[in-house]
């Protein structure tokens, strides 16, 4: 299975070269993220793709993650800060349009979603949305690996700074995790030629019959 080999090849890149990711490959990664599994299918997060070098440098100032500024492209996963009836209504209308189904036929589905999500606090729904973003992150890591594009997922960033510079608050979003894309600098990345360390399958996985 080629995917296993690709996953053995990937690692959290520490130093990137100055080689840029091609637009066609970037589009494939973005499409893969968009096709990720998502609870209720609502995709309650958004993806921001940053190519601007000056902006990447500004976003990375003060962070111990030099990959923010060094990356070819930086992906920012931002979750909805709350969920209201309007968001649910818009989603139901979108599903009806895409599946060519009358909205009235989706009223049961809409009620189930509304009862579930609107009974929760904004913080609970934000956490739920952030978890959806992490599923997208996982898909991005796999997609990049299949294209032999290096990546580094990061939580060590100033979320408030990202939210401000990207205008996320006005969009009712909060940044939750970021992903640097590019190509490894094999001469300067101490991990580039190190063996990947993972638990043996028999230790990591338990079969329950």
**Cβ-based burial of 201 (10 A; exposed 0-12, middle 13-18, buried ≥19):** exposed
pLDDT, one tens digit per residue, over 110-130 is 999 999 999 999 999 999 999
Query: From CA 2, how far away is CA 54, in angstroms rounded?
Result: 37
The residue extents of the domains of the chain are: 2-80+122-204, 84-117
How far the first Cα of the chain sits from its last, in Å, is 25
- What number is the average pLDDT over the span 53-64? 91
Query: From CA 59, how far away is CA 154, in angstroms rounded?
Result: 13
Question: What per-residue confidence (pLDDT) applies to 180?
Answer: 98
- What number is the average pLDDT over the span 180-189? 96
| Helices and strands: H and E segment counts in the chain | 9, 4
pLDDT, one tens digit per residue, over 130-147 is 999 999 999 999 999 999
**64 pLDDT exceeds 90?**
no
Confidence of residue 62 (pLDDT cuts 50, 70, 90): confident
* Region of residue 40 (left: phi > 0; alpha: psi -120 to 50; beta: else): left
Give me the DSSP letters along 89-142. HHHHHHHHHHTT--GGGGHHHHHHHHHHHTTS-HHHHHHHHHHHHHHHHHHHHH
pLDDT, one tens digit per residue, over 65-80 is 899 999 999 999 999 9
**209 pLDDT exceeds 90?**
yes
Question: What per-residue confidence (pLDDT) applies to 118?
Answer: 97
Share of the chain above pLDDT 70, in %: 100
- What number is the average pLDDT over the span 86-90? 97
DSSP β-bridge partners for residue 134: none
Rounded to 5 degrees, φ, ψ at 48 are: -115, 125
**156 pLDDT exceeds 90?**
no
Give the right CATH number for 2-80+122-204 from 3.40.50.2300, 3.30.365.10, 3.40.109.10, 3.40.640.10.
3.40.109.10
- What number is the average pLDDT over the span 9-28? 97
- What number is the average pLDDT over the span 36-58? 97
Question: What per-residue confidence (pLDDT) applies to 99?
Answer: 97
**22 pLDDT exceeds 90?**
yes
* Nearest partner of 17 among 196, 189, 178, judged by Cα: 189
Beta strands 45-50 and 173-182, pairing class: unpaired
Query: From CA 152, how far away is CA 178, in angstroms rounded?
Result: 8
Q: How many CA atoms lie within 13 A of 1 on its CB side?
A: 4
Query: From CA 148, how far away is CA 18, in angstroms rounded?
Result: 16
Q: What is the reported pTM? A: 0.95
């Amino acid at each position: 299975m080629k995917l296993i080999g690709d996953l053995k090849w990937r690692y959290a890149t520490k130093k990137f070269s100055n080689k840029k990711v091609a637009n066609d490959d970037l589009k494939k990664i973005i499409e893969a993220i968009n096709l990720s599994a998502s609870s209720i299918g609502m995709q309650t997060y958004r993806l921001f793709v940053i190519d601007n070098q000056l902006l990447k440098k500004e976003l990375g100032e003060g962070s111990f993650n030099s990959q923010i500024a060094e990356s070819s492209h930086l992906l920012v996963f931002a979750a909805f800060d709350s969920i209201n009836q309007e968001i649910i209504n818009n989603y139901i209308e979108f599903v009806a349009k895409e599946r060519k189904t009358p909205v009235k036929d989706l009223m049961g589905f809409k009620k189930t979603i509304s009862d579930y999500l609107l009974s929760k606090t904004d913080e609970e729904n934000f956490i739920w949305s952030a978890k959806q973003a992490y599923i997208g992150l996982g898909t991005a890591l796999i997609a990049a690996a299949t294209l032999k594009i290096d990546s580094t997922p990061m939580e060590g960033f100033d979320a408030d700074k990202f939210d401000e510079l990207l205008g996320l608050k006005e969009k009712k979003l909060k940044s939750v995790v970021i992903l640097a894309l590019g190509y490894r600098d094999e001469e300067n990345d101490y991990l580039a030629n190190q063996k990947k360390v993972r638990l043996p399958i028999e230790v990591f996985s338990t079969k329950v019959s």
